[in-house]
Structure 1
């Protein structure tokens, strides 16, 4: 089995606290609609002011399905509205590449 990670880069058009709250609601909405979203482990601000966010799905097909459904997810659209210059890199990695911490 291989997983799919979306590595998303962007800049913000909103306050960081507002973005974090919108992100939390968006993650819950996407996970509810697309249970094959398995992790959204971190979001970080880079030294140059851009941000990076990582969304991990069970498969590339699951990621594609979630992306195709964004118009039906108002909380996700609210979060997306405060992003600028969005770029998404899709990567696939084998289950054996996951390093559990426990």
Structure 2
């Protein structure tokens, strides 16, 4: 069964980067508690053009959809999202065989 990797692109005001990173950490804990099928959040990086990329991997597309549908009930997640602009989300299929053991 393939995983669902959400690749999220966005911008964050420079003054809010530290706040964003703190809120992201809290949001990940909140989403994982509510949706344990959030398998991994392995990457968050600022690109040379100032945009960010963040990768959230769920056990299934259905699990990702359920977490997204529940977003309005997760205040820490919403607090993180409130700092983001120009958000684009690409949901992709990640075959189990593509998972690296390291």
Question: TM-score normalised by the shorter chain: which range applies?
Answer: over 0.9
> CA separation in 1, counterparts of 2:31 and 2:89?
17
Q: Say if 2:44 is the partner of 1:63.
A: no
TM-score, with structure 2 as normaliser: 0.96
Superposition pairs for residues 5-84 of structure 1, below 5 Å?
Answer: 5-13=5-13, 14-84=15-85
Q: Say if 2:16 is the partner of 1:3.
A: no
Q: Which runs of 5+ in 1 are unaligned?
A: none
Calculate the aligned-residue CA RMSD, in Å. Answer: 0.7
Aligned-pair distance for 1:94? 1.1
Show structure 1 runs of 4+ deviating over 3 A. none
SS for the counterpart of 2:67 is helix
Aligned-pair distance for 1:82? 0.1
| Count of aligned pairs between the two proteins | 101
